[in-house]
Amino acid sequence: MSASAASPRVEGIAAAAPTGTCSSPAVGAATSVWKNICGYAAAACAAMITAAIVLHLSRAHLSVPLFYDKDALPELTLLHNVQDSGWFLDNPRLGAPGVLDVRDYPMADALHFGIAKALLCVFHNPMVVYNLLLLLPFPVTALSAYFVFRRLRLGRLAALVPSVLYSCSAYHFLRMQLHPFLASYYLLPPMIWLALRVSLGRNPLRPRLWSWQAAGAILLCILTGIAGVYYAFFSCFFLLAAGMKSAVRERRWTPLGASALLAFVIAASLAAGLAPSLIHFAQHGQNAALARLPGEADLFGMKIGELLLPTADHHNKGLAHIVDHYISDPVRRPTGEWRFETLGVVAAVGFLYLIGRFLLRRRDKVERAEDGLAFLNVTAVLLGTVGGLGCVFAFWVSPMIRCYGRLSICIAFFALAGLFLTLQRIAERYVRGQWTRTAWTVGLLALLGVGAYDQTSAVMRPSYTETRRQFDSDRDFGRRIETLLPPGSMVYEMPYVPFPENPPVCGLADYELLRPLFHTRTLRWSYGTVKGGNTDFWQAELAKLPMPELVETLAFAGFRGIYLDRRGFADGAAQAEEELSCLLDVAPQVSRTGQQSFFDMSGYIESLRSRYSDAEWEDRKAELLPVELRWAVSFLPPEHNQAEGAWRWCGPDGDLHVVNPLDRPQRVVLKMECSGLWDQTTPSHLVLSGAGGRRDLVLTAQRQPLEIVLSAAPGDNTVHFSCDGRRLSADVGVVVFRLWDVTCRTEK
């Protein structure tokens, strides 16, 4: 028997343009096109109106961000990066005396940043662009979902209702407050449709690889690959799962090959988007301070119970109490994504229906779209659930993908599509007369109303009054500071807060120190250097100094002002401000809200400069800003004992960064001893390259002296160590050689 004869029959996906509603008569081509246009317009308008009602957009101002706290602040910063430097990777106005460089934090959102750049060319205001990036995905996602539902042969109204529910999901409203690009999931519906076609045996690359259908599928995969890591990863998973299912059903490799090719296109596009970070990692190694742990896949995984929970702060107090009881249970700990996972009552019914359909297969062997959706739904649960395939991937492949709760928005689409396809099949059987058609229409509209009411709540509404108060205060304060300092001046921000992802410091939430950037154009701010980097190490050590020494060091480093956020101090910065007032002999400038203060260092710097000659000034600067050593790649933390001294193990390769903080070269002498493993019997070779030139040494178990002399240019100077010795897996990691008693001095 041939493979095609053994395969089950497939129903449920349009091969061409979809038909109208199940009971509508044939109409002329022009009328049909007009009705289709009206259907798309209605879906987009309904989604935008729903969003406007939930968000109370009548109170919004386009030039004031809808959200002005938490993760909204770094998102605004990235838009300022695009405006200031042309792309999101750098910003010279943050991280002083260095710059903000986000290559340590891989992002593959080139599509969204490209849209942001285009909007900035039109509006020239990052706040306006930020608000547009929050609002435009509502109608765009509705249009995308409506297109797919129509391709699944849903009638116009039956396609409109799930489109609006999907676009206005709880996931969307809550996610947009923190991660606007994750709320821009308008490419997911066509990607799911593509995976569904593969699952049902409809190869999108046939009949020819150069057909319009294949070109559209490849273009969609390219766009998905540059629209964010998570949705690209999920899309690859669904395509491969669908390809395997179809290959098993048809007993041939062609479906799996087609899905693998599409997944490869996504992966290649993703790699291209991540290229700046990948190149940075190859040159400098990964930043250990930003490393993810495999166990975080469980912390941010998905639970079926959380998918079925009511929305947080539900309109119904009884349902809201259920949520409060769930998250407060000391035994049942919710995941880090629980707020975003809730499906809403309509999608929850669809989710349970698809689970049942998968478990209770039909006997007629007809493969319908609902069966393909049920299969994809189950694979999503297997991938995302706590302890599932996602945890396996995090442990064996990469822990960088950790938030598997974000699969809930894919599950929502499966659930809505499966439910409304089934409802329409029922309607096709029983809806005949005018009264039943009216009841069908009223029922669909009721589902829209009930679903939208159930999956939205007051917590999704921006705090317009508080946001405007904070925004106006920051804008006024930033302008005042800018008038006091010359262009290009550096301002030191207190307290010291590592960036990114740091717990609150007293009452100061993470990222709050980014706000001054938004309201100044000519000043540089100290906050925003990525933790684990050279400037971050310098700032961390600086924050430990007594106030007089800290202020003097800032003056020699070129800073001209000190900005304090009082919420970051246990005493409201009373002691710090008192010390600064005495040292600088000036009264602080205070913001309207009273939460921030600023000290101008200009008078102090002039007085300090008058006490030194040029040569004495440079000598004192060298004392206060010494050369620093930073260990990277596979160098391990230092160890020591009284008998042997101090040492630092390293794997086969390691980097020593010699950081010169001055604006002139310095002669640096590094002295140390080196050796191989303690039980090493065969000599190994240690090669030094980079700053200081190339050196070749033969290592044994015995310690031998090593001196490195280099002319350190301003900034980072890297000495690379590479050893071909035997590798030993110890409790601290893989070790090959070690350096003993490292010292550093500068010479004139």
381 and 388 Cβ atoms separated by less than 8 Å? yes
593 and 531 in a common domain? yes
484 and 372 in a common domain? no
Strands of 359-438 (E only): list them. 366-367
Which pLDDT value is given to residue 22?
44
Q: How far apart are CA 301 and CA 485, in angstroms?
A: 48
Cis preceding-peptide flag for 399 (omega within 30 of 0): no
- Residue where a domain terminates, one of 561, 588, 623: 623
Please state the rounded mean pLDDT for residues 139-166: 96
pLDDT per position as a tens digit, 464-477: 999 999 999 999 99
Residue 2 confidence class, pLDDT cut points 50, 70, 90:
very low
For residue 667, is it within any domain? yes
Which pLDDT value is given to residue 638?
83
Q: Which of 12-16, 335-339, 400-404, 482-486 has the lowest mean pLDDT?
A: 12-16
405-418 burial string, b = 16+ CB within 10 Å, else e? bbbbbbbbbbbbbb
702 and 681 in a common domain? yes
* Dihedrals phi, psi of 674, to nearest 5 degrees: -135, 155
pLDDT per position as a tens digit, 301-327: 999 999 999 998 898 898 989 888 888
Which pLDDT value is given to residue 4?
43
Say whether pLDDT at 548 is over 90: yes
- Residue where a domain terminates, one of 575, 591, 623: 623
Show the 3-state SS of 533-558: CHHHHHHHHHCCCCHHHHHHHHHHHC
Closest CA to 245 of 379, 393, 407: 379
Range of the domain at 660: 627-747
633 and 616 in a common domain? no
* Dihedrals phi, psi of 711, to nearest 5 degrees: -95, 100
Residue 27 confidence class, pLDDT cut points 50, 70, 90:
very low
Which pLDDT value is given to residue 534?
75
Say whether pLDDT at 206 is over 80: no
657 and 562 in a common domain? no
Say whether pLDDT at 576 is over 70: yes
For residue 126, is it within any domain? no
Cis preceding-peptide flag for 495 (omega within 30 of 0): yes
CB atoms within 10 A of CB 544: 9
415 and 353 in a common domain? yes
Please state the rounded mean pLDDT for residues 180-194: 96
Q: What is the CA radius of gyration of the chain?
A: 30
Residue % of the chain over a pLDDT of 90: 65
For residue 82, is it within any domain? no
Residue 201 confidence class, pLDDT cut points 50, 70, 90:
confident
Number of domains in the chain: 3
What is this structure's pTM? 0.87
Residue in this structure with the two tokens 């509209």, named with its chain if needed: 445
408 and 383 in a common domain? yes
Which pLDDT value is given to residue 292?
83
Angle at which helices 156-167 and 408-430 cross, to 10°: 160
Say whether pLDDT at 19 is over 50: no
37 and 147 Cβ atoms separated by less than 8 Å? no
Q: Which residues contact 396 (CB under 8 A, 6 or more apart)?
A: none
354 and 369 Cβ atoms separated by less than 8 Å? no
Which pLDDT value is given to residue 46?
96
Contacts 24+ apart (CB under 8 A), 612-618: 617/556, 618/662, 618/664
Which pLDDT value is given to residue 9?
55
615 and 550 in a common domain? yes
Say whether pLDDT at 85 is over 50: yes
For residue 304, is it within any domain? yes
Say whether pLDDT at 159 is over 70: yes
Contacts 24+ apart (CB under 8 A), 587-591: 588/564, 589/477, 589/480, 589/481, 589/484, 591/473, 591/474, 591/476, 591/477
For residue 382, is it within any domain? yes
Q: How far apart are CA 38 and CA 679, in angstroms?
A: 79
Which pLDDT value is given to residue 182?
95
307 and 408 Cβ atoms separated by less than 8 Å? yes
DSSP, residue by residue, 568-594 = GSTTTTHHHHHHHHHHHT-PPEE-TTS
| Length, in residues, of the chain | 748
For residue 27, is it within any domain? no
- What CATH number is given to the structural domain containing 699? 2.60.120
| Mean pLDDT, the chain, integer | 89
Residue 363 confidence class, pLDDT cut points 50, 70, 90:
low
Write the CA distances from 606 to 401, 555, 611, 741, integer angstroms. 52, 10, 9, 41
- Residue where a domain terminates, one of 576, 599, 623: 623
For residue 599, is it within any domain? yes
pLDDT per position as a tens digit, 436-475: 899 999 999 999 999 999 999 999 999 999 999 999 999 9
Question: 3-state class of 246 per DSSP?
Answer: helix
604 and 537 in a common domain? yes
Residue 732 confidence class, pLDDT cut points 50, 70, 90:
low
581 and 588 Cβ atoms separated by less than 8 Å? yes
650 and 722 Cβ atoms separated by less than 8 Å? no
Q: Which tokens in the block code for residue 491? A: 């301002």
Q: Which residues contact 414 (CB under 8 A, 6 or more apart)?
A: 192, 350, 351, 354, 373, 374, 376, 377, 380
- Helix (H) or strand (E) holding 668, with range, is strand 666-675
685 and 609 in a common domain? no
For residue 679, is it within any domain? yes
636 and 586 in a common domain? no
477 and 338 in a common domain? no
